[in-house]
Structure 1
């Protein structure tokens, strides 16, 4: 299994013309701003896209991006297990924008969706507070809700995965438009 290369935003910016950039965020996050020319293949659709990503990798280097780098590292690992060598963007689109590089939005996009990490923090914090409040006001057993969220966060950190993010990614506001995966896969196939 090959280890993914890490490209810093300045390096990637200078090489965009020679890279196939795959953004593994949700369609909502992608619509909120993505690297110019990036193709949206949500992480949960990576298996379906594997043959076409393999084709693109045969023509040149594939750069996988997300908001911060965690999901793109997971995607790179999945692709490496299938024999596809990829690179990941250090710091994701957050670092890209922080260094002054442009983010593109699809035409007609007016409102950005919160990043997945922010959505997870809001949801986890809200459920913990709810569990504590219900534990005081209704029954102490509701505190187990808070303990369950805490355990999930620890598991998320240890495994570098996030079940809550996977569930939140399926909500309608994270999919404001249907990901046109077929068109994206055709672009990957045909270069």
Structure 2
């Protein structure tokens, strides 16, 4: 699940259902209980299943799906959600999103029954940025965050335009207007315009040039996988379920190691690994699913040769996690394609352990069959049949069992945690309400 608890609230005549993603992203369902019509705002690809389940539970029809801007830090689920519910996609024309049917002008109105939501063009973070205003709430996307504002150093952003947008659209709003931002890393769901006027340091800067200087003085680093995500979000294409080792090498060289997670045993990782990858053993992926959600997409899954990575992908997709890509050929293919790895002390490989265990069981079965009772020959036959099955299906139950043994669960070699952590961390590629490395929030003024 993307959310930890139901934080739905009635804001005026409309009902708001927020969805918090471990990357710090926020998605929203806004519905009119009278007409049972709804719109979705900035759906994360991982959250599509949960948004859909909520719509069905409430009996709402989805009328619109809005991307407030072209996202650079996570995959949009707008195309998938709109397609599933035959909804109209909404985005600014400057975003050049394929499949969008409605491009609102500044001040255009969306209707949910008798209720109205006004769409304003608010460039600054990106040229195509929109904000949505109901009579009682502002959905600000990345323009205004809780205690922060958006960064403007990529995607054609402009600090002066952000200042203008804030003062034209937001600063004059009533203090009691509820603010729903596009991101937050502190576990917060909402604020109010009045609270932000009183506490947000960016809203206290009244001079445009001073705002511009402060916002551009110390930009964070780029979000992870930004170029891939921009292309995917504009084209609306699916994330590939696998990529070649050569393509993986290129992605890692461009800083994509933060999106790699390795499902091998600790012993295997200690022997050789990709610097910057996160270690999540195959048997732990369910328990650590939220940790995996926090890894910036597209997420690359790595094992020795690719088989365990595919098993992990299928299991995680069943949990509603999207944006998963298997690295074909695993660490062996990655190294053969020229990828840089870090090596530690050689360990006994899992494959070698399987050979020893299988051979030992065959010998024991044969010996007991001769010395004790012929029934023990069945042990040797069982192991032989298991090896045949493993060869035919390219799976190995014995290997999965041995991987759980204590000697294979020793602490792995030091591997840097992947960017994209949850509220307690500052992940690269986030759009936090503070200033995470690589996020879409600006560094606080004076920092």
Q: Calculate the TM-score normalised by the size of structure 1.
A: 0.81
Q: Does the 8 Å contact 1:18/1:60 carry over to 2?
A: no
SS in 2 for 1:102: coil
Q: Which residue of 2 aligns with 1:36?
A: 275
Structure number having the greater helix percentage: 1
Flag structure 1 segments of 5+ consecutive residues without an equivalent.
Answer: none
What is the CA distance between 1:170 and its match in structure 2? 2.4
Change (3 A) 1:173 1:4: farther
Question: Does 1:97 pair with 2:300?
Answer: no
Deviates most, 152-161 or 33-42: 152-161
Q: Distance in 2 between the 1:3 and 1:146 partners?
A: 45
What is the CA distance between 1:154 and its match in structure 2? 4.4
2:305 to 50, 59, 68: 68
Change (3 A) 1:3 1:77: farther
Residues 1-191 of structure 1: matches in 2 within 5 Å?
A: 5-16=241-252, 17-18=255-256, 20-56=259-295, 59-83=296-320, 84-105=322-343, 109=344, 111-156=345-390, 161-177=395-411, 184=417, 188-189=421-422, 190-191=427-428
Change (3 A) 1:80 1:157: farther
C-alpha RMSD of matched pairs (Å):
2.9
Q: Distance in 2 between the 1:81 and 1:158 partners?
A: 25
Where has structure 1 moved over 6 Å in runs of 4 or more?
178-181
Deviates most, 170-179 or 138-147: 170-179
Q: Distance in 2 between the 1:99 and 1:125 partners?
A: 33
Change (3 A) 1:173 1:112: farther
Q: Distance in 2 between the 1:101 and 1:179 partners?
A: 18
Change (3 A) 1:124 1:131: same
Change (3 A) 1:88 1:178: closer
SS in 1 for 2:353: helix
Q: Distance in 1 between the 2:401 and 2:247 partners?
A: 34
Q: Distance in 2 between the 1:28 and 1:82 partners?
A: 27
Q: Distance in 2 between the 1:3 and 1:125 partners?
A: 42
SS in 2 for 1:136: helix
Change (3 A) 1:132 1:4: farther
What is the CA distance between 1:186 and its match in structure 2? 8.2
Q: Distance in 1 between the 2:400 and 2:348 partners?
A: 15
What is the CA distance between 1:45 and its match in structure 2? 0.7
Deviation per residue, 1:136-184 (Å, 9 max, x gap): 2332221111122133334545665433223212223212327999x94
Q: Does the 8 Å contact 2:248/2:334 carry over to 1?
A: no
Structure number having the greater strand percentage: 2
SS in 2 for 1:101: coil
